């Protein structure tokens, strides 16, 4: 007997994720001066990670708050009424949530290696928690980051999230939702 295709389909269905597809993000345009006579416009897409949980909004809210406490990222704004949370790390160098900063954000390469590891980072995590049904809640997360040279420069460099922090947060939230 040939069960190959049926077994493959069954395994693929069982490996389904709790995550919804990523929502399109905001497109940002940054103008960079290369020389006094030359500028370059850089356009980058910010990704909003949306994850659906089969749990009531209040339970997901509590799991998110417990996860952020475990990460040690200070809250800048929390509004339970609108389901909005903003967490902010400022002037962080070297490591972020126990990992090299370059494993969390990409700020490009400098003479000493990844700028994220040696520059002063500001990372803002914005989350929106919304109830889609009685036991269906969506969390949308946007991670934005900037870096400044520890030397003389006051100019900030736009950084991009690699997605590591968002995935780590989803794992913590899922663990906090377990009975």
Strands 105-106 and 75-79: unpaired
* Partners of residue 125 on adjacent β-strands: 87, 143
Query: Which residues lie closer than 8 Å to 116 by C-beta, 6 or more apart?
Result: 100, 101, 102, 104, 105, 106, 107, 145, 147, 159
Residue 136 burial (C-beta neighbours within 10 Å; 0-12, 13-18, 19+): middle
Full 3-state SS string of 129-160: EEEEECCEEEEEEEEEEEEECCCCCCCEEEEE
Nearest CA among 20, 34, 47, 54 for reference residue 126: 47
Q: Which two tokens stand for residue 62?
A: 């509590």
Q: What is the pTM of this model?
A: 0.73
3-state secondary structure of 47: coil
Neighbours of 135 (CB within 10 A): 12
Give domain 19-177's CATH architecture: 2-Layer Sandwich (3.30)
Predicted confidence pLDDT, tens digits, the chain (179 residues): 444 443 333 333 333 344 444 444 445 555 555 555 554 555 555 788 899 999 999 999 999 999 988 888 899 999 999 999 999 998 778 888 889 999 999 999 888 889 999 999 999 999 999 999 999 999 999 999 999 988 766 788 899 999 999 999 999 999 999 87
Q: Which residues pair with 86 in a beta bridge?
A: 77, 126
Do the Cβ atoms of 145 and 123 come closer than 8 Å? Answer: yes
């Amino acid at each position: 007997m040939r069960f190959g295709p049926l077994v493959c389909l069954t395994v693929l269905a069982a490996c389904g994720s709790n995550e919804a597809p990523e929502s399109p993000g905001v497109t940002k345009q940054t103008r960079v001066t290369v020389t006094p006579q030359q500028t370059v416009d850089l356009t980058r897409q910010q990704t909003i990670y949306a994850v659906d949980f089969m749990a009531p909004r209040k339970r997901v809210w509590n799991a998110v708050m417990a996860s952020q406490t475990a990460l040690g990222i200070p809250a800048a704004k929390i509004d339970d009424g609108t389901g909005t949370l903003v967490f902010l790390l400022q002037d962080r160098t070297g490591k972020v949530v126990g990992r090299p900063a370059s494993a969390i954000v990409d700020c490009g390469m400098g003479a000493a290696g990844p700028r994220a590891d040696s520059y002063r980072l500001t990372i803002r995590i914005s989350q929106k928690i919304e109830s889609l049904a009685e036991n269906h809640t969506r969390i949308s997360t946007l991670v934005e980051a900037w870096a400044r040279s520890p030397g003389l420069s006051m100019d900030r460099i736009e950084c991009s999230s690699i997605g590591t922090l968002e995935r780590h947060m989803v794992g913590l939230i899922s663990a906090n939702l377990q009975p």
